[in-house]
Amino acid sequence: MDETLLKVEGLQTSFFTDDGEVPAVDGIDFSVHEGEILGIVGESGCGKSVTSLSIMGLLPSPPGKIVGGHIYYKGEDISRAKESRMRKLRGNDIAMIFQEPMTSLNPVFTIGEQLMEAIRLHNHLSKKEQVERSIELLKLVGLPRAKELLAEYPHELSGGMRQRVMIAMAMSCNPKVLIADEPTTALDVTIQAQILDLMVKLNKETHTAIIMITHDLGVVAQMCHRVVVMYAGKIVEEGPVKEIFSHPNHPYTEGLIKSIPDLHGKKDNLYTIKGSVPRPGSIAKGCLFAPRCEFVMDKCRVNAPELSGSVHKSRCFLHQEQGRKEVHT
């Protein structure tokens, strides 16, 4: 994990609605290195997907707009790049797979047409080479009958197969970064595991860095190297996966870990974090998590903590002062 491929600096993305500006992503920093799998976790509405769409330059605009910060790809600021430049990067350098495999493929074109288009857009290959490459890709993602599949339409495939096709399409030009926005949420559990295994395998074989966006910490534990925990548009904790799981610093991360169902546990009720994610921009001052925090202190309601630490960073006063365990005892 040497070279930094993608660096997000102080990214702020807002949606301009009739009720005014809603900051969906509010000043986040993180970076992705070559060959790394970075997890971005958080509840629905915390800004995970908006972050990924901001990177791709695919925000629905209007109403969405990047209002501050920078996104560097190999040192080039792409947050304000021209559309023509972004088109060259999309699919070729940074590829993306989406949450909904059922609706993400065009229903009126064959798998072959859609795959070959992705290949053709960034490579000069003959028709025959395109077909060969497509078959190779379908085999790479573990689809049987690759040749016949090319002539089939998306509705003839199952959800898992379609997601494999989506992955094949994303991998078609050997991207440096693959953004996976909840790729397994819409699939059933056994298929989920297969798709995750496939992504880990691709990461190992092709050294493509993966940004894994998910709300499922189990997925993070299974495949990611590092993880970024987002809450209400901000990063609350960041660090190596093992470190975060063994010593979560932020009460929110701790809550997320505690709420994973444990097969060996004897508890009847699963742990829940009380309350729900605040609407972006609705908390004017103090820590965004304060209203739901078990360890809330007076100053949490007045001042907002900064993200601090070197490798394992967190945004919580508990850690910046005494360290967590003392407070506990």
Partner 1 sequence: MFYYSIKRLLMLIPVLLGMTLIVFAIIHAIPGNPALTILGTKATPEAIHSLNRSLGLDNPWYVQYFSYLKDILSGNLGTSIQTHAPIASEIWPHLAATIELSFIAMIIAVFVGINAGIISAWKQNSFLDYTAMILALIGVSMPVFWLGLLEQWGFSIKLQWLPSIGRDDIRNGVDPITNLYLIDTLLRGRLDQFWMVIRHLILPAIALATIPTAIIARMTRSSMLEVLKSDYIRTAKAKGQRMVWIVYKYALKNAFIPILTVIGLQTGLLLGGAILTETIFGWPGVGLYIYNAIQYRDYPVIQSGILIIAFIFVMVNFIVDLLYGLFDPRIKYR
- Which residues are near partner 1 by CB under 8 A? 56, 58, 86-92, 95-96, 98, 100, 103-109, 117-118, 121-122, 153, 155, 166, 169-170
Three-state SS sequence of 180-246? EECCCCCCCHHHHHHHHHHHHHHHHHHCCEEEEEECCHHHHHHHCCEEEEEECCEEEEEEEHHHHHH
Q: Least distance (Å) from partner 1 to the CB of residue 127? A: 17
Q: Least distance (Å) from partner 1 to the CB of residue 297? A: 43
Q: Please, which residue, 180 or 288, has the CB nearer to partner 1?
A: 180
Q: Least distance (Å) from partner 1 to the CB of residue 268? A: 39
Q: Least distance (Å) from partner 1 to the CB of residue 230? A: 21
As a whole number of angstroms, the distance between CA 89 and CA 83 comes to: 10
166 token code pair: 């989506």
Can you tell me whether residue 7 is helix, strand or coil? strand
Contact call for residues 314 and 250 (beta carbons, < 8 A): yes
List strand residue ranges (DSSP E) for the chain, in order.
4-17, 20-33, 37-41, 64-73, 76-77, 94-97, 177-181, 209-214, 226-231, 234-240, 313-314
Q: Please, which residue, 61 or 276, has the CB nearer to partner 1?
A: 61
Q: Least distance (Å) from partner 1 to the CB of residue 175? A: 10
As a whole number of angstroms, the distance between CA 244 and CA 85 comes to: 37
As a whole number of angstroms, the distance between CA 223 and CA 220 comes to: 6
Residue with tokens 């799998």: 37
Q: Please, which residue, 122 or 319, has the CB nearer to partner 1?
A: 122
Q: Please, which residue, 49 or 203, has the CB nearer to partner 1?
A: 49
Q: Please, which residue, 138 or 300, has the CB nearer to partner 1?
A: 138
As a whole number of angstroms, the distance between CA 281 and CA 28 comes to: 15
Q: Please, which residue, 108 or 311, has the CB nearer to partner 1?
A: 108
Q: Least distance (Å) from partner 1 to the CB of residue 128? A: 21
